[in-house]
A and B are shown apart, each in its own frame.
Chain A
Amino acid sequence: MSTNRKLDAKIPGGPLALKWERHKMDNPLVAPGGNRRKFTVIVVGTGLAGGGAAATMGELGYNVLNFCIQDTPRRAHSVAAQGGINAAKDYQNDGDSIERLFYDTIKGGDYRSREANVYRLAELSTGIIDQCVAMGVPFAREYGGTLANRSFGGVQVSRTFYARGQTGQQLLLGVYSALSRQVQAGTVKMFPRYEMLDLVLVDGRARGIIARDLTTGEIKRYAADAVVLATGGYSPVYYLSTNAVNCNATAIWRAHRRGALFSNPCYTQIHPTAVPHMGDYQSKLSLMSESLRNDGRVWVPKKPGETRRPSDIPEAERDYYLERRYPAFGNLVPRDIAARAAKVECDAGKHAYMSPYSVYLDFGDAIQRLGRDVVADRYGNLFSMYEEIIGDNPYQVPMMIYPAPHYTMGGLWVDYNLQATIEGLFVAGEANFSDHGANRLGASALMQGLADGYFVVPRVVASYLAGAKLQAVKTDHPAFAAVENDVRGLIGRLLAIKGHRTVREIHWDLGRIMWDKVGMARDAAGLKEAIARIGELRGQFWHELALSGTDADLNKQLEQAARLADYLELGELMARDALMREESCGGHFRNEHQTPDGEAKRDDANFCFVSAWEYTGENREPVMHREHLAFENVELKTRSYK
């Protein structure tokens, strides 16, 4: 079912390159000093987007309440990003520009993102690097003391800044240090080990949240003038993913249930290079950074069912399939393409020796060309991580890799101001849908997180606060009591089930359905089956779930159960979105829509739009709205990396 409710993206007028500058000029400000202190802003999440926004709004003088589920803000999942962060600095003099980063991102996203947002992202990228350097982030350097760069997939310039294989960690520690400074200054109040469980609306505007103190189990109310959600993505809907085990969609899903539209849920990024799945006991899949494809060569044996060890397979019997199929970009094609190509080879029986779902990533040539030390300097920590998991030494034996769920381009719908369809609710970073279209390029998640956190959120929230003329609202407002009651009801309902199946078992079942039917390749029959089976599984969940402990205590099983309840709804929405989208684009590949040589076939005539789903109640069909995507500066073309 779909309607044509008007979704106004509020894109400023004027030429693309001037939109953000004009927008800043045209929107109201809040004067420094006492005026800013009068406003309270809730920020949920302390990753690059959330922590960056909280710290920056603190610096500006607002009163910020910052929540995270981790025991300290320094552990937000941005910490795990490895390879790097893009910026159009053109320090390498290789032809980079804001325009080129903009174009690469639009093309990488397979023409399913909003031009104005992507341009702003490219424009802000350079300031991010400057700010991080000023904060003491130890980026890699050349001997002359200047910043070093490397290349990532889908581009032909070197614009990726990095700190060994721990770029996300270093950027997050920069955010954490800025946040620490503001906590000390008294502008930011931190709430670690708190989980947002619902959004409170007063007169249609977001005015607060209900959060659970994860240590004591207490349910608490917090009021504010605006709420910012920066709670990351939803890859763990697949159970096995590269995400941390506590990553979840609960904050954005509860906001969705309260009226925020959810966009493009089917756009998921399956990262091509993770350590393969080895056994059913696994709790996660470990990522091997895309940066490895700078020097590693991907191959499979030419002979299906090959059982020899890689060292016994002569050069002539290896198929470097990415270099063969995509000579212009070779091993550095975008993630969606590299992932699907690995699946095609494995489905044809060509795979690494240990698992039918693995291909080789070989550093033999790189070690010969550069020497072991240079390779160790670039990737040492990743190599030792791999050796810990698999027990093979990648300096001697090629790595085995396979695609794994990694990032979700979909998220809550936001306009140019990152405001959701609920006024006063802003969504930043991976939690929104806005910048990556149907596929995110490598090293662009960190860029978006910090662009949103350091630059966009502080500006757009200020405009909102300056213009909204808000009534004072306190937590004794009846709206808070009503939402708190709902939250208590949900927790009570979970604990009352007293079934026999654990959270992990049911989550595992959901993950299997999602991976098999809503994974790297999808078709109508499989998606319909997924919708039916997820519905059944949701029924089982509410009858068979086993929990122990109480709600008035630290109880991680209970936390996970509440998150799984949301995944059981979101998973179905992903399948519905994938079924609706009768085309292939980026990470969304429909078997029915491909070219004769197996490439994605887009349908711009019928699907050049953002889907935006409206929640209509438990076990009820959602309603879809559309935002048409207008391409005024880029010509819609078939994406080619050949």
Chain B
Amino acid sequence: MSDKGMTIHLKIWRQARGAKTGKFVDYTVQNIQPAMSFLEMLDILNEDLVKKGEEAVEFDSDCREGICGTCGLVIKGTAHGPHAATTTCEVRMRGFKDGETITVEPFRAGPFPVIKDLVVDRTAFDRIQQQGGYVSANVGSAPDGNAVPVSKYYADKAMDVASCIGCGACVAACPNASASLFVSAKISQLSRLPQGGLERGRRALAMVAQMDQEGFGDCSNHGECEAVCPKEISIENIALMRREYMRGALKGD
């Protein structure tokens, strides 16, 4: 690498809005600093494109610190890039070599249709959530916060899965495009807390049914979801989701 920074070659998926498919287009960006984030590198590419009068590459991002779940690219074949436990916006250029060629694709899955270029529609996740990813407690009806003690063990377990950011990397990485890790995280969080326990059966049945209806595939224990999850949510939750589903189907509550 010279003082001027790295040169990076990119193969980026371009797809017009409304088109059924797209294609890879080659770009080269220069003067890339190792401390830059991957998205800042794409910002520079877009600056170059706009100045040349070409259309910028559309990609989603917002907080750029790994918490909002907006960004999501498949970088060199891996959802959120080669580093474990990071989102796309947290990927830094120091992980790539000068002169390297990097492929950049959207999160591909049937239930995540491409809107344009690298932007996909993940509203299927919202529709799953709407089926039961909540506790039915209206504002105003709550008892004192300390009225129902919750063991630290279960509160921590619930927090482990509640940290899901809904990015959809699990779906993009799964050969079946299953949403099981995402759905199980919410089911697991709420079934482990006394406040969420009252609706656990109904919740599991309804959320799983919606997941199927959206066209997500079944889980067949590949484990790719867990490997790419930026929040390191464990696939043991999928086993728990199956138990909750069975419990709901048998007990009806």
Query: B51 at the A/B interface (Cβ < 8 Å)?
Result: yes
Q: How far is the CA of A71 from the CA of B125 in the complex (A)?
A: 11
Q: How far is the CA of A215 from the CA of B117 in the complex (A)?
A: 12
Whole-angstrom distance between the Cβ of A165 and the nearest chain B Cβ: 9
Write the chain B residue with the least CB distance to A247.
B62
> Across the interface, do B162 and A163 meet the contact criterion of CB distance under 8 Å?
yes
Query: B212 at the A/B interface (Cβ < 8 Å)?
Result: no
Residues of chain B within 8 A of A554, CB atoms compared: 17, 58, 115-116, 119
Q: Which residues of chain A in 516-564 are interfacial with respect to chain B, using CB atoms and an 8 Å cutoff?
A: 546-549, 553-557
Q: How far is the CA of A89 from the CA of B149 in the complex (A)?
A: 16
> Across the interface, do A164 and B159 meet the contact criterion of CB distance under 8 Å?
yes
Residues of chain B within 8 A of A351, CB atoms compared: none
Residues of chain B within 8 A of A79, CB atoms compared: 63, 67-69
> Across the interface, do A180 and B50 meet the contact criterion of CB distance under 8 Å?
no
Residues of chain B within 8 A of A136, CB atoms compared: 134-135, 158, 189-190, 193, 195-196
> Across the interface, do B142 and A134 meet the contact criterion of CB distance under 8 Å?
yes
Q: How far is the CA of A184 from the CA of B130 in the complex (A)?
A: 6
Query: A314 at the A/B interface (Cβ < 8 Å)?
Result: no
Among A108-116, A137-145, A323-331, A478-486, the stretch in contact with B? A137-145
Query: A408 at the A/B interface (Cβ < 8 Å)?
Result: no
Residues of chain B within 8 A of A416, CB atoms compared: none
Q: How far is the CA of A486 from the CA of B197 in the complex (A)?
A: 52
Q: Which residues of chain A in 71-86 are interfacial with respect to chain B, using CB atoms and an 8 Å cutoff?
A: 71-75, 77, 79-80
Residues of chain B within 8 A of A141, CB atoms compared: 150-152, 155-156
> Across the interface, do A180 and B126 meet the contact criterion of CB distance under 8 Å?
yes
Query: B33 at the A/B interface (Cβ < 8 Å)?
Result: yes
Q: How far is the CA of A573 from the CA of B113 in the complex (A)?
A: 43
> Across the interface, do A246 and B62 meet the contact criterion of CB distance under 8 Å?
yes
> Which of A56, A59, A127, A180 meets B130, CB within 8 Å?
A180
> Across the interface, do B195 and A135 meet the contact criterion of CB distance under 8 Å?
yes
Write the chain B residue with the least CB distance to A242.
B65
Q: Which residues of chain B in 192-225 are interfacial with respect to chain A, using CB atoms and an 8 Å cutoff?
A: 193, 195-196
Write the chain B residue with the least CB distance to A454.
B139
Given known A-B contacts A138-B159, A244-B62, A130 and B151 have beta carbons under 8 A apart: no
Q: How far is the CA of A5 from the CA of B157 in the complex (A)?
A: 56
Given known A-B contacts A74-B166, A166-B67, A169-B163, A131 and B39 have beta carbons under 8 A apart: no
Residues of chain A within 8 A of B25, CB atoms compared: none
Given known A-B contacts A169-B163, A546-B50, A556-B56, A283 and B43 have beta carbons under 8 A apart: yes
Given known A-B contacts A130-B142, A136-B195, A557-B46, A72 and B63 have beta carbons under 8 A apart: no
Query: B2 at the A/B interface (Cβ < 8 Å)?
Result: no
Whole-angstrom distance between the Cβ of B104 and the nearest chain A Cβ: 16
> Across the interface, do A139 and B155 meet the contact criterion of CB distance under 8 Å?
yes
Some 21 contacts from A to B, beta carbons below 8 A apart, are A71-B70, A71-B121, A72-B122, A73-B126, A91-B146, A131-B142, A133-B148, A136-B134, A136-B158, A170-B162, A177-B129, A177-B135, A192-B123, A244-B63, A245-B64, A385-B90, A389-B35, A455-B139, A502-B47, A549-B55, A554-B115
Q: A163-B162, A245-B63 are in contact. List 17 more A-B contacts (CB 8 A).
A: A75-B70, A131-B139, A134-B137, A141-B150, A141-B155, A141-B156, A145-B150, A146-B146, A176-B129, A244-B63, A245-B64, A281-B33, A281-B40, A281-B43, A281-B44, A500-B51, A504-B47
